[in-house]
Amino acid sequence: MKDAYALITGASRGIGKALAFELAAKGYSLILVARSENDLKAVADQLLAFNDIKVLYFVADLADAAAPQQLFQFCEENKLPVTILINNAGYAVWGEFEQSSWLAQQTMIQVNLNAVAEICHLFIPVLKRQKKAWLMNVSSSTQYQPVPYMSAYAAAKGFILLFTRGLKIELKNTAISVSCLVPGTTDTGFIDRAAMSDSIRKKAKQVEMTPEQVAKIGIKGMFNGKAEIIPGLINWISAMASYVLPKSVTENIAASIYRPQN
C-alpha cells in the first residue's frame, strides 16, 4: 500500500492529523492538505519518522475557490494514485447570523460545502480508476438539527451528509466505497477558532472525544463500508433523539447550548 495514496484535507491538526496517523499505521502514503506550510511540514516529518511511507503535502486555503482545481492539478502532474479521499477541512462561524459579516459566512460555506463538493467531483474519476477506493466526507453532529447561532454551519454540514449518502448510492457499482464521518464535540481547537464563549467550552469538555478516538472509529467504519459513522455513544444517542423528538425541542436545546451570553 506504500504506493496507494490517501488525500486528507485539514490534515495539519485535529481529526485530520489523527486520520493521517491512522492511515500511516496501515501503510498508506499520504497527501496532506492545509493552509499552514509550517504545520503541514511538522506533521509530515512526524509521519515519515513513524512509518516507511511517502508523505507529500500541498498548501491550500480552501476558502479560495481556485484551490480544489489547483490541488487536483498537483496530484495529476505528479501522477499520484489517490486511493482514499477524505474531505475533513471545516470550521464554524458562531454568533447571530445577521451580526457576522457576509464575507465570514460566505468563506465558511466555501470551505465546508463548495470545496468538498468540487473536490469530490474532480477526484471521483481518479478513484474509479483504482481496484478499490474509499471516499469519506466529514460532517458534524450539528447537522442533525438546526443550530441557532451556527445556522449556516449546521446547514452546510447537513448538506455534506445528504450529499455523501446520495453519492454512496450513485457509486455503489463502482470501485468506490463512500462514507460520512459525523463526529460530535472533539478536542480540536474548533471552539477556539469559532471564538465561542467559556460556557460553551465548559459544556464541551464534559462530552468531548479526542481526535485519535474519532479517527480510529472513522477509519474502521470507512473500511467496513459504513454509510454513516457516528463516533461515541453519547453522539449516537443525540443523533437518534433528533429523529424522535419534535424539532422545536431539539432546536431549543441547541439554542440553549450555543446562545451568546449577554
For 195-221, b where at least 16 C-beta lie within 10 A, e where not — what string? ebbeebeebbeeebbebbbbbbbbbeb
Query: What is the pLDDT, as a whole number, of residue 59?
Result: 97
pLDDT tens, position by position, 56-94: 999 999 999 999 999 999 999 999 999 999 999 999 898
Four-CA torsion 98, 101, 104, 106, nearest 10 degrees: 70
Query: What is the pLDDT, as a whole number, of residue 24?
Result: 95
pLDDT of 262 > 60? The answer is no
- In angstroms, the CA 191 to CA 115 distance is 22
The answer to whether 154 and 108 have CB atoms below 8 angstroms apart is: no
Q: What is the DSSP letter of 88?
A: -
Query: What is the pLDDT, as a whole number, of residue 137?
Result: 98
User: Coil, helix or strand for 52?
Assistant: coil
Q: Which domains does the chain have, with CATH numbers?
A: 5-258 (3.40.50.720)
Residue given cell 447550548 in the structure block: 257
pLDDT tens, position by position, 13-53: 999 999 999 999 999 999 999 999 999 999 999 998 877 89
Q: Please, how many CA atoms are within 13 Å of residue 134, restricted to the half-sphere of its CB?
A: 24
pLDDT of 11 > 60? The answer is yes
Which residues lie below 8 Å from residue 206, measured CB to CB, with a gap of 6+?
none
- In angstroms, the CA 153 to CA 146 distance is 9
